[in-house]
Structure 1
Amino acid sequence: MDSTLVAALTGLEEDVVTDADQKDVEEEDEQIKAPYSTASNVMKSQPVEKLYIETGTGFIGQNRNRVARRIAEEQAIKELEVDAPRKTTIEFALDTYHFLKTICLFVHGLTAGIAMWHTVMIFVLLYHNYTDFLEHYYLLALPVQCMFYMLLVLCTVSCCDRYDVNSPNRRFVLRAFTLQSGAVSILLYLIALILSLVSADLEDRMIYFKTSPALWENAQDTEDNVLLWRNLSTARAVLIIVAWLVLTIDPNTDRLIENLRKTDDDILGNPVEMSGVSPA
């Protein structure tokens, strides 16, 4: 048994591994693995002057400073829109009245032009005889009557807005009749409106020239009625044209705007006193 045990233990020295041998093996393994190492020096990312912005069709390169400047401008515009003060009620009324004033000024000129055209047409049609005039004009009697009525109402209201008619005094009347303020145009338009209403009865009879010929059977009455209507229409046209000429002398005169601005300055510039309220 001793010889057998000795023979078995004889080869065990070759399997014993010491610390020195283990270190040598590790160094050899590192030398073998070193050439195949994937480790590399990684550089840090550096900022560039270009940005890539995604759109519906892909990425678009844009300058960084330009994008920052645009964003700053949009932010400034948003801040200005938020901080912009709202208009007061009187400021809104002034803007609205400026728009209406432009339209009414056009209506004044349109009314004068239609009055001139109407007068010329009357004298041209009356060149032959009264029956021929009625045969050509009876279809226009009602439309022209309604048109003059609406236009004259608008012109009269516009003139009342332009000039201070709330408290007329001697100076106001004197300036109006001497054509210094243009307020006489209110009177001219009022008279023209009255003449238009007076001639409405004759124009109503003209409408029925074909359907009710008995209204125009008497030749003398027909001639008198047509002549009266012609004189009324001519006087109305003259008043309208003169009123328009008076307005064109100083078209910027407008007392209503001046009063509204003065009221706005009084409200926004001076403290409002509340009577009957005791301090707390």
Structure 2
Amino acid sequence: MDTKPYWTTRDVALSVHRSFRMVGLFSHGFLAGCAVWNIIVIYVLADQLSNLSNLLQQYKTLAYPFQSLLYLLLALSTVSAFDRIDFAKISVAIRNFLALDPTAFASFLYVAALTLSLSQQMTSDRIHLYTPSSVNGSLWAAGNEKQVLQPWILVNLVLAILVGLSWLFLSYRPGMDLSEELMFSSEVEEYPDKGINASS
């Protein structure tokens, strides 16, 4: 009588790990595309930084949804990138980074991009709540748009470059996953149970 093979805890963990790796691969490319699209939209709406009021009026409806999507993709991509390097051995991870290993370098770039994104969250909130300076209670003073928006636009440009480079580095070896090799490569050895005869 044939018995159906059953999944062990190791099989489930390996399947979930590989599924997340596929989600991570998708998030890397999608994030790079979104970041490039975002900076293009910003420059088009700002008309080469000569019409910042138009940028504020048009972009304020996109500010919250896009920043939320960007943060989600950055978090997924950062975890996915770190999942590919062997952090169980810190010395090996540091050596790979110093040797400019593409995967280790991409992990660092994602952390930098995530930090930059969080640093500009307050500006994104102000853009979302934009009302003309003539309206009572406006967060935007007259003539203050350029001073606030130029650093924000620059950060978005740098962020697009960082995630684009990270995606290229990870695309160099998309199947590399040192965490899987460390955790799941060794076969589980089974030892027969030894009975203990108790003397009465």
* TM bucket, shorter chain: 0.7 to 0.9
- Aligned residue runs from structure 1 range 4-43, under 5 A: none
Q: Find the partner of 1:112 among 32, 35, 40.
A: 32
- 1:218 — aligned with what? 142
- 2:65 — aligned with what? 143
- Looking at structure 1, the residues matched to 197 and 51 of structure 2 have their Cα atoms a distance apart, in angstroms, of 83
- Aligned residue runs from structure 1 range 151-170, under 5 A: 151-169=73-91
Q: Find the partner of 2:167 among 244, 256, 277.
A: 244
- Looking at structure 2, the residues matched to 156 and 237 of structure 1 have their Cα atoms a distance apart, in angstroms, of 15
- Looking at structure 1, the residues matched to 99 and 142 of structure 2 have their Cα atoms a distance apart, in angstroms, of 46
CA contact (8 A) 1:205 1:215 kept: yes
- 1:132 — aligned with what? 54
- 1:207 — aligned with what? 128
CA contact (8 A) 2:131 2:140 kept: no
State the shift of 1:272 in Å. Answer: 8.8
Sort the Cα spacing of 1:176 and 1:272 in 2 relative to 1 into closer, same or farther, 3 A: farther
- Looking at structure 1, the residues matched to 54 and 117 of structure 2 have their Cα atoms a distance apart, in angstroms, of 23
Q: Secondary structure at the match of 1:215?
A: coil
State the shift of 1:211 in Å. Answer: 7.8
- 1:97 — aligned with what? 17
CA contact (8 A) 2:85 2:93 kept: no
- 2:105 — aligned with what? 184
Residue 194 of structure 2 corresponds to residue 194 of structure 1:
no
Q: Secondary structure at the match of 1:209?
A: coil
Sort the Cα spacing of 1:279 and 1:192 in 2 relative to 1 into closer, same or farther, 3 A: farther
State the shift of 1:279 in Å. Answer: 8.2
- Looking at structure 2, the residues matched to 215 and 160 of structure 1 have their Cα atoms a distance apart, in angstroms, of 39
State the shift of 1:208 in Å. Answer: 1.5
CA contact (8 A) 2:131 2:139 kept: no
Residue 185 of structure 2 corresponds to residue 262 of structure 1:
yes
CA contact (8 A) 1:179 1:246 kept: no
CA contact (8 A) 1:119 1:237 kept: yes
> What are the Cα deviations for residues 167-206 of structure 1, in whole angstroms up to 9, with x where unaligned?
311x532322433351121111111111111111001111
Residue 12 of structure 2 corresponds to residue 88 of structure 1:
no
CA RMSD of aligned residues (A): 2.3
CA contact (8 A) 2:75 2:114 kept: yes
Amino acid at match of 1:107: S
| Structure showing greater Rg | 1
Give percent identity, aligned residues only: 30
Q: Greater relative contact order: 1 or 2 (C-alpha under 8 angstroms, separation 6 or more)?
A: 2
The total of aligned residue pairs comes to 192
- Looking at structure 2, the residues matched to 254 and 272 of structure 1 have their Cα atoms a distance apart, in angstroms, of 33
- Looking at structure 2, the residues matched to 103 and 111 of structure 1 have their Cα atoms a distance apart, in angstroms, of 12
State the shift of 1:234 in Å. Answer: 0.8
- 1:14 — aligned with what? none
- Looking at structure 1, the residues matched to 55 and 5 of structure 2 have their Cα atoms a distance apart, in angstroms, of 63
CA contact (8 A) 1:90 1:260 kept: no
